[in-house]
């Protein structure tokens, strides 16, 4: 186990520089990029290629499979830097966490088949766990994976699945034994889930679009599995032990969301400061001189420093291999602090911009939905408070 250190490391500074360099051509064509995103509902493909070339898609992929193995601290630094410049890709985080799951829990053959193509940018992946009748309580899921010969047959339905139409593969969590069998056998509720890498174009998979907002560049879908077959070799880790494989990826996901939220706060602050410094409505002083405008921005800046520190602590804990429950505590705390901060930053940016804060052209209003989503998904604020109440404070569980 390595010691945790404070402050930005040389490696992180290099990652910031690499990310900034990677974004330069897109910044030069920002309007064109944003128009393409609005018109096609997808991030332009060159952006994915640029992420791969910068080594960011291979951050969790070992070097022997063509990855950079740079780890979570480096990737969180990149996610923060990208969001600070107003860029991102909805499948970036999903593909990254799926790669991590395969790298940590997948068989040698699964790693050989998928990791090089993930690192090179040849594949996009999405993630499917949520079901309408289970929601936050994933252990109520009913989607079945039943072994038949060399395959598993999938039946059931997942919902709110982001980017299923764009992805090549979906990392699917399904039930390999029914809940009744688990109850009869007195097995723990965490048992008998299995994780698969499933080709999105498998016969027996169909999609229904959902009228959702909040994520730029990827739609959400209900995904139906009607006798779709996945080769048994695409099982990630042991059969029935998928909960562990899945949980191994949730903490890094929270850290990356926190890092992105810090970056979004930085961006919103920059936009607010720029506007407040030049907008004059009374006398000759810009509105940024009024403390009613200035103090909320100063408050954001202070809280950003704190949220970044906890986010980097959470990333460092993961990279150092500390006990997952301790790493999970920091990851949850980082996600809690940073996402609430980003929501406040969006609110204050709109208020600072006055009426023009509602104009699509100014680019602030979109953050209202984008940041608000993070209080609900992928883990809600309430569930983080439940986690801290139970696991950190030692208080009884209410549900």
Ligand X SMILES: Cc1cc2nc3c(=O)[nH]c(=O)nc-3n(C[C@H](O)[C@H](O)[C@H](O)COP(=O)(O)OP(=O)(O)OC[C@H]3O[C@@H](n4cnc5c(N)ncnc54)[C@H](O)[C@@H]3O)c2cc1C
Residues of the shown chain interacting with ligand X in the complex, contacts defined by CB under 6 A: 126-130, 135-136, 160-162, 212, 214-215, 220, 373, 376-378, 380, 382-383, 386, 399
Dihedral angle computed from the Cα positions of residues 106, 243, 248 and 59, in that order, rounded to the nearest 10 degrees: 40
Distance CA 394, CA 329 (A): 13
Nearer to ligand X, 22 or 129 (CB): 129
Q: State the nearest-atom distance from the C-beta of 36 to ligand X, in Å.
A: 21
Q: State the nearest-atom distance from the C-beta of 207 to ligand X, in Å.
A: 13
Nearer to ligand X, 105 or 162 (CB): 162
Distance CA 118, CA 110 (A): 12
Nearer to ligand X, 263 or 378 (CB): 378
Q: State the nearest-atom distance from the C-beta of 77 to ligand X, in Å.
A: 24
Contacts with 308 (C-beta within 8 Å, 6 or more apart), sequence order: 80, 262, 338
Nearer to ligand X, 157 or 347 (CB): 157
- Cα 304 to chain centroid, rounded: 19
In the complex, residue closest to ligand X by CB: 135
Q: State the nearest-atom distance from the C-beta of 222 to ligand X, in Å.
A: 11
Q: State the nearest-atom distance from the C-beta of 156 to ligand X, in Å.
A: 13
Nearer to ligand X, 4 or 210 (CB): 210
Q: State the nearest-atom distance from the C-beta of 244 to ligand X, in Å.
A: 18
Nearer to ligand X, 93 or 192 (CB): 93
Q: What end-to-end distance do the CA atoms of the chain give, in Å?
A: 35
Q: State the nearest-atom distance from the C-beta of 94 to ligand X, in Å.
A: 6
Helical residues (DSSP H) of 163-290, grouped into ranges: 179-185, 242-278
Could you tell me where the beta strands, DSSP code E, fall in the chain? 125-128, 144-148, 151-162, 169-175, 193-199, 205-209, 220-231, 235-236, 280-282, 285-286
CB 385: neighbour CB atoms within 10 A?
Answer: 12
Contacts with 264 (C-beta within 8 Å, 6 or more apart), sequence order: 83, 84, 342, 345, 346, 367, 370, 371
Nearer to ligand X, 217 or 378 (CB): 378
Distance CA 61, CA 100 (A): 7
Contacts with 36 (C-beta within 8 Å, 6 or more apart), sequence order: 42, 44
Nearer to ligand X, 46 or 155 (CB): 155
3-state DSSP assignment of residue 86: coil
Q: State the nearest-atom distance from the C-beta of 398 to ligand X, in Å.
A: 7
β-pairing, 144-148 vs 193-199, is unpaired
């Amino acid at each position: 186990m390595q010691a945790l250190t404070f402050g930005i490391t040389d490696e992180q500074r290099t990652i910031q520089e690499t990310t900034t360099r990677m974004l330069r051509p897109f910044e030069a064509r920002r309007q064109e990029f944003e128009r393409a995103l609005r018109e096609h509902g997808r991030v332009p493909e060159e952006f994915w290629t640029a992420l791969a070339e910068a080594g960011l898609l291979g951050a969790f992929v070992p070097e022997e499979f063509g990855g950079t193995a740079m780890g979570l601290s480096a990737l969180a630094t990149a996610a923060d830097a990208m969001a600070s410049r107003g860029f991102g890709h909805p499948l970036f985080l999903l593909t990254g966490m799926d790669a991590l799951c395969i790298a940590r829990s997948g068989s040698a053959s699964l790693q050989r088949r998928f990791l090089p193509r993930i690192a090179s940018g040849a594949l996009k992946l999405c993630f499917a766990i949520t079901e309408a009748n289970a929601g936050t309580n994933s252990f109520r899921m009913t989607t079945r994976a039943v072994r038949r010969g060399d395959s598993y047959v999938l039946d059931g339905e997942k919902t709110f699945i982001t980017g299923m139409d764009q992805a090549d593969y979906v990392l699917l969590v399904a039930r390999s034994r029914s809940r009744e069998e688990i109850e009869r056998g007195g097995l723990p509720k965490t048992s008998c889930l299995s994780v698969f890498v499933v080709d999105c174009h498998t016969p027996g998979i169909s999609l229904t679009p959902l009228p959702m907002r909040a994520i730029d560049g990827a739609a959400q879908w209900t995904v139906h599995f009607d006798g779709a077959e996945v080769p048994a070799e695409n099982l990630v880790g042991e059969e029935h032990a998928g909960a562990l494989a899945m949980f191994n990826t949730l903490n890094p996901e929270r850290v990356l969301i926190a890092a992105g939220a810090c970056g979004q706060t930085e961006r919103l602050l920059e936009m607010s400061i720029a506007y407040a410094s030049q907008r004059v409505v009374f006398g000759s002083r810009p509105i940024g001189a009024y403390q009613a405008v200035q103090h909320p921005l100063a408050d954001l800046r202070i809280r950003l420093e704190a949220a970044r520190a906890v986010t980097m602590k959470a990333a460092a804990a993961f990279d150092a291999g500390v006990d997952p429950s301790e790493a999970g505590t920091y990851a949850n705390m980082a996600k809690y602090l940073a996402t609430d901060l980003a929501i406040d930053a969006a609110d204050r940016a709109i208020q600072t911009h006055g009426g023009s804060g509602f104009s699509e052209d100014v680019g602030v209003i979109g953050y209202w939905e984008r940041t608000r989503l993070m209080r609900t998904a992928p883990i809600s604020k309430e569930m983080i408070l439940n986690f801290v109440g139970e696991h950190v404070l030692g208080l009884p569980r209410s549900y």
